[in-house]
Amino acid sequence: GDSVTQMEGPVTLSEEAFLTINCTYTATGYPSLFWYVQYPGEGLQLLLKATKADDKGSNKGFEATYRKETTSFHLEKGSVQVSDSAVYFCALITTGGGNKLTFGTGTQLKVEL
């Protein structure tokens, strides 16, 4: 079956540091890949997406590139801010899996001054 593996957190960084959150996947079909973000006390929001190999999703300074050869979709940001503190979820949908998202376990990011 489909699965998503994320690096465990929490990840604690100083403001303006470089961020990488690793995400790898296994999928029976050809997946679309997503990063969702959950701010404290809120629901999940779509951060970025990529629907085919070598696509780069980007939003709010975050980027992730769909790497089919390594089955990865790592999230990066060049300079994090305190306001980026949240839980980040990697997820996928496969064409054979209907509309159902498969999520990773989430990675908590804490950014300190």
Partner 1 sequence: IAGITQAPTSQILAAGRRMTLRCTQDMRHNAMYWYRQDLGLGLRLIHYSNTAGTTGKGEVPDGYSVSRANTDDFPLTLASAVPSQTSVYFCASSDSGATYNEQFFGPGTRLTVL
Question: Residues in the site for partner 1, rule: CB under 8 A?
Answer: 32, 34, 36, 42-46, 49, 51, 89, 93, 98-101, 103-106
Least distance in angstroms from the C-beta of 49 to partner 1:
6
Residue with tokens 């809120």: 42
Burial of 108 (0-12, 13-18, 19+ CB in 10 A): middle
Q: Please, which residue, 49 or 74, has the CB nearer to partner 1?
A: 49
| Closer CB to partner 1, 17 or 59, in the complex | 59
Token pair for residue 72?
């990865």
The minimum distance between CB 104 and partner 1, in angstroms, equals 6
Asked whether the beta carbons of 25 and 5 are under 8 A apart, the reply is: yes
Please state the closest distance from residue 113 (CB atom) to partner 1, in A.
Answer: 26
DSSP state of 2: -
